[in-house]
A and B are shown apart, each in its own frame.
Chain A
Amino acid sequence: METKITGRVWKYGDDVNTDVIFPGKYTYSISDPKEMAQHALEDLDPTFVANVQPGDIIVAGKNWGCGSSREQAVVCLKEAGVGAIVAHSFARIYFRNCINHALPIVTCDAADGVESGQEITIDFAAGTVTTPAGEYTFPPLSPEVMAILNAGGLIPHVRQQLNIE
């Protein structure tokens, strides 16, 4: 995992649920991640898919990813190029799904200091998010979670655990 990333921000509010990140009507009909990416945030922000750039960062309020356990709500954003998600808080299944797909997540209040289109820098080693309005700190992830992120996600992590080449 990169220790420091800088990206352009897409800012959203509180309680953004998985239905608006990836609509339920596609959950059993789309299995190609590239096709999933074409529907990312479809019912929340129709401008997102056409304008997202690799390395962009989503910054949100509280309870990002509440609702369904659908993993496509993580995969569609990762495949669309999103480099990290920063939120005041995450719904727990969404949090695990991000770790399992090695999509870096940061729990802090950076949404208070940035608007859509501006740039922020996340320093994972230092535990800081630098916004135009100042610096925000976040606690380190647990060693168990870092091991999964550093392996590149849960599947490579389990392969390592099971000694599968």
Chain B
Amino acid sequence: MGQTFVEKVLARRAGLDSVVPGQIVTVRPDKLLTHDNTAAISRQFRKIGVDRVADPNMNVIVLDHVTPAANETYATNHKITREFVAEQGISAFYDIGEGICHQVLPEKGHAWPGAVIVGSDSHTPTYGAFGAFSAGIGRTEAAAVMATGQIWLRVPESLRIVVSGKLPAQVSAKDVILHIIGDLRADGANYCSVELTGETIRHMSVASRMVLTNMAAEMGAKNSVVEPDDKTHAWLQGRVMNGYEEIHADPDATYERVIEYDVSGLLPQVARPHTVDNVVAVKELADTPINQALIGTCTNGRLEDLEAAADILRGQHIASNVRLLVLPASREVLLAAIERGIVSDLVTAGATLLNPGCGPCLGAHEGCMAPGEVTISTANRNFKGRMGSKEALIYLGSPATVAASALTGVITDPREV
């Protein structure tokens, strides 16, 4: 009987011929991601009572959530993390300024087709864009993986989402995934492995595929995966130094559900407060005033995202009553954007350029909102209180939609500017 991607990868890693959904297996991950929460994880690790991590080469640690440290407490967390890294001999450590973990980890060669990656961050499924199995876990669980080098996983049911049709102008991967989440809802893929396939996705860049797998978390997916192809290999060339074996679902695999979307007529989409599945076409919200616009985050802070914004804002200036924050996803993205003149275009248009990192997405620093304020953001979450005040509103859209809205001061369809 044919097997899905996740059945194959987990069976192989558990040393079994096959597994079925619901079965519990124990596997040794290739990589364990932790970020600013490493300080808290190191405290849990010490409670277990072992001195050394099981395998220092398994650990990838990226400081990204509140960087540079916003106050003494954050600074102390970072210091504890750096001391832990030195004590444990962890070489894959990326200090402040390198970027957001979900961008840095693949950039530095820690994600590849067929890899098993767990991370103490809910957007860990992002690495499925490279054909990896990757899933989020909590802090204590990360500490246990550090100590034992192992984790138990329940083999999930699989969903197959087939996307076809040529995307219209100014409609991008973000619009596609918002549309899918709006349709399937916030728990539509709960506990599931989501396989994303179809001609639209095959035509997408690796960066766009990362938008899809990143946001699969917002419909409850355990992991999400895109089949690796020549684009994947080209992206990973020179980054991944180890060999790898691709894992593809069998053509006769059994899925809980197969869902098909034709996106050839898709309009720019936006998620309204306060849930990610509260999705409508941008035009339905036209003229909603905004105070702040945010372009960046692990969802949409890559070069093609900044370029899409620059294409709209070049030679123009944002509305006088709007603050536009731009956060490249990594140092590499920032340098490329500088080289191509994109940073200059955005800053000249009125953008405030922030350092690569998570920025205000989780409401800790660099652009939190006051009561009654409205932000339109390229991030992946619009929960109440997420970016500061619980009386503030967050809308989610594509980089083009956010840039168009910054230009006019109201939520704007990017095809109209």
Binding site for B on A (CB under 8 A): 15, 17, 19-20, 23-25, 27-29, 31, 42-44, 62-63, 66-71, 74, 89, 91-93, 96-97, 100-101, 142, 144, 153-155, 158-159, 161-162, 164
Known: A97-B140, A158-B48; 18 extra A-B contacts, CB below 8 A, are: A19-B381, A20-B390, A29-B364, A63-B186, A69-B136, A69-B138, A71-B139, A92-B190, A92-B222, A93-B122, A93-B138, A96-B137, A100-B144, A154-B141, A158-B144, A159-B49, A161-B148, A162-B48
| Contact in complex: B24, A69 (CB < 8 Å) | no
| Contact in complex: A17, B383 (CB < 8 Å) | yes
Query: A28-B66, A29-B73 are contacts. A154–B186 as well, Cβ < 8 Å?
Result: no
Interface 1/0 per residue, B66-88 and A, CB below 8 Å: 10000101100100000000000
| Contact in complex: B368, A67 (CB < 8 Å) | no
Closest to A142 in B: B24
Q: Choose one: A20, A42, A62, A153; the contact of B140 (CB below 8 Å).
A: A153
How far does the Cβ of B390 sit from chain A's closest Cβ, in whole Å? 4
| Contact in complex: A93, B144 (CB < 8 Å) | no
| Contact in complex: B386, A144 (CB < 8 Å) | no
- Considering only residues 368-401 of chain B, those with a C-beta below 8 Å from chain A are 368, 381, 383-386, 388, 390
- Whether B197 sits at the interface, judged by CB under 8 Å, is no
How far does the Cβ of A101 sit from chain B's closest Cβ, in whole Å? 7
| Contact in complex: A100, B138 (CB < 8 Å) | yes
Q: Choose one: A66, A155, A164; the contact of B143 (CB below 8 Å).
A: A155
Residues of B within 8 A of A92 (CB): 190-191, 220, 222
Residues of A within 8 A of B121 (CB): 69
| Contact in complex: B362, A24 (CB < 8 Å) | yes
30 contacts between A and B (CB under 8 A): A17-B383, A19-B383, A19-B386, A25-B364, A25-B368, A25-B388, A28-B66, A29-B74, A43-B385, A63-B186, A63-B190, A63-B220, A66-B186, A67-B381, A69-B122, A71-B140, A89-B190, A92-B191, A92-B222, A93-B122, A93-B137, A96-B138, A100-B140, A101-B140, A142-B154, A154-B144, A158-B147, A162-B147, A164-B48, A164-B49
Q: Choose one: A24, A66, A74, A162; the contact of B220 (CB below 8 Å).
A: A66
Binding site for A on B (CB under 8 A): 24, 36-37, 40, 43-44, 47-50, 65-66, 71, 73-74, 77, 120-122, 124, 136-141, 143-144, 147-148, 152, 154, 186-187, 190-191, 220, 222, 275, 277, 362-364, 368, 381, 383-386, 388, 390
Residues of A within 8 A of B43 (CB): 31
Query: A25-B388, A28-B74 are contacts. A155–B144 as well, Cβ < 8 Å?
Result: yes
Of residues B74, B77, B137, B277, which shows the largest number of chain A Cβ atoms within 10 Å of its Cβ? B137
Q: Choose one: A23, A101, A162; the contact of B363 (CB below 8 Å).
A: A23
Query: A31-B40, A164-B48 are contacts. A91–B190 as well, Cβ < 8 Å?
Result: yes
Residues of B within 8 A of A89 (CB): 187, 190
How far does the Cβ of B262 sit from chain A's closest Cβ, in whole Å? 28
| Contact in complex: B65, A71 (CB < 8 Å) | no
Of residues A97, A155, A161, which shows the largest number of chain B Cβ atoms within 10 Å of its Cβ? A155
Q: Choose one: B44, B141, B190, B275; the contact of A96 (CB below 8 Å).
A: B141
- What is the bound-complex CA distance between A89 and B186, given in angstroms? 12
- What is the bound-complex CA distance between A29 and B75, given in angstroms? 10
| Contact in complex: A91, B220 (CB < 8 Å) | yes
- What is the bound-complex CA distance between A43 and B124, given in angstroms? 26
Residues of A within 8 A of B137 (CB): 69, 93, 96
- What is the bound-complex CA distance between A83 and B141, given in angstroms? 21
- What is the bound-complex CA distance between A139 and B17, given in angstroms? 28
| Contact in complex: B386, A24 (CB < 8 Å) | yes
- What is the bound-complex CA distance between A147 and B263, given in angstroms? 47
- What is the bound-complex CA distance between A91 and B191, given in angstroms? 7
Q: Choose one: A25, A27, A67, A71; the contact of B138 (CB below 8 Å).
A: A71
- What is the bound-complex CA distance between A91 and B383, given in angstroms? 15
| Contact in complex: B140, A154 (CB < 8 Å) | yes
- What is the bound-complex CA distance between A91 and B122, given in angstroms? 11
How far does the Cβ of B44 sit from chain A's closest Cβ, in whole Å? 7
Q: Choose one: A28, A100, A164; the contact of B364 (CB below 8 Å).
A: A28
Residues of B within 8 A of A15 (CB): 186-187, 275, 277
Residues of A within 8 A of B50 (CB): 162, 164
Residues of B within 8 A of A62 (CB): 187
